[in-house]
A = this chain, B = another copy of it.
Amino acid sequence: MGGDHGPSVVVPGAAIALDRHPESKFVLVGDEAAISPLLDHHPELKVAASIIHTDVAVRMDDKPSQALRHGRRKSSMWLALDAVRHGQADVAISAGNTGALMAMAKFCLKTMPGIDRPAIAGIWPNLRGESVVLDLGASIGADAKNLVDMAVMGATMARIVFDLERPTVGLLNVGVEEIKGIEEVREAGRILRETDLQELDYRGFVEGDDIGKGTVDVIVTEGFTGNIALKTAEGTARQIGEYLRAALNRTWRARIGYLLARDAFNVIREKVDPKKVNGGVFLGLNGVVVKSHGGADAESFASAIDTGYDIVRHELTAKIASSIARERRAESSLPMQAAS
């Protein structure tokens, strides 16, 4: 029921994803009266889908506390998460209110053993391909341990999603020297340098422009900064797009030029298109949750489903659990932190 368009995007999105992964089954949670008629347009999905009916839906502008108060145990968001908790579904996918989804997911699924805070990971296009960037806003005020956990979780996701042996990992900072930045980041850097983690290749600090360059496969940052970096990048992309649109419309010459080069522009639009990289993955919970953009269309929502499908097929949750356990063992062999 979530997002700007509700079932009118979710149902056709599921139909597109089903076409790509015909063995999938869908549990559609929400108002049956709204969902059922849409299924009639997608006969294959109708066969592969069941409906869990509820009248209650979390609103896009509900605060997390409101959503929990009014929506726990009865809203479509909660029931979708509950389906994951009870093994009726392998992954919950929502285009709804992010803060409410995270609050409910923590409440319903709980964090994994050893993890204090979940994180939201996104797939970010860059000049070398794509990278995993986390946290995009779940764990505001993360400490050094949280950042190290994110490095491990992000690397596990990158191994699966990008099919890499040993992803490279960087900590986002304001400079590359070890003395730079806030204490939590410096301390996380020290732990990652000194701990020998098999699953990831820690490359030190990276700066904001390294995200676009694709210097590393996984970029780790605390959620406040991560959220602002993500939105600043989105804003910059939109800003340049607007400049282009205006400039290419200004003269006849430019308009003809645009028409000739249109295929080129379409290539770029594809590359920076959020549709292709839709899906923030909640990491560190006992179950997989994927958050689609609220403004997603059917194609874009299908892409969030694809992300969930990939992650479940490769058993992300189990792999993170064993990576975190190995990290704990490696850390326990570290010398105590030097007094600062």
Contacts and interface: CB of A to CB of B under 8 A. Distances in A.
Nearest to A64: B179
Nearest to A227: B174
DSSP majority for the A interface?
helix
A123 to B, nearest CB: 15
Contacts of A221: 228
A127 B228 contact: no
Interface string A113-129: 00000000000011100
A262 to B, nearest CB: 8
B235 A208 contact: yes
A242 B272 CA distance: 12
Interface residues of A, number: 63
A82 to B, nearest CB: 26
Contact of A210 (B177, B181, B235, B250): B235
Interface string A244-255: 100110110110
Contacts of A243: 267-268, 271-272
How many monomers of this chain does the complex have? 2
A260 B263 contact: no
Contacts of A63: 177, 179
A248 B258 CA distance: 10
Contacts of A228: 172, 174, 207-208, 221, 225, 228-229
A223 B173 CA distance: 11
A259 interface: yes
A174 B137 contact: yes
B224 A212 contact: no
Nearest to A136: B174
Nearest to A177: B63
Nearest to A99: B175
Interface in A148-181: 172, 174-175, 177, 179, 181
A260 B264 contact: no
Contacts of A272: 240, 243
Interface in A254-296: 254, 256-265, 267-268, 271-272
Interface string A222-238: 01110111111111111
A29 to B, nearest CB: 26
A338 interface: no
Given A208-B227, A264-B254, A264-B257, A140 B181 contact: yes
Contacts of A244: 264, 268
Interface in A297-340: none
B267 A250 contact: yes
A50 interface: no
A23 interface: no
Given A228-B221, A257-B264, A264-B257, A239 B127 contact: yes
Interface of A: 63, 99, 125-127, 137, 140-141, 172, 174-175, 177, 179, 181-182, 207-213, 221, 223-225, 227-240, 242-244, 247-248, 250-251, 253-254, 256-265, 267-268, 271-272
> Which 10 A-B pairs have CB atoms at the shortest separation, nearest pair first?
A208-B231, A257-B261, A257-B260, A212-B235, A209-B235, A247-B264, A212-B239, A208-B232, A254-B264, A236-B236
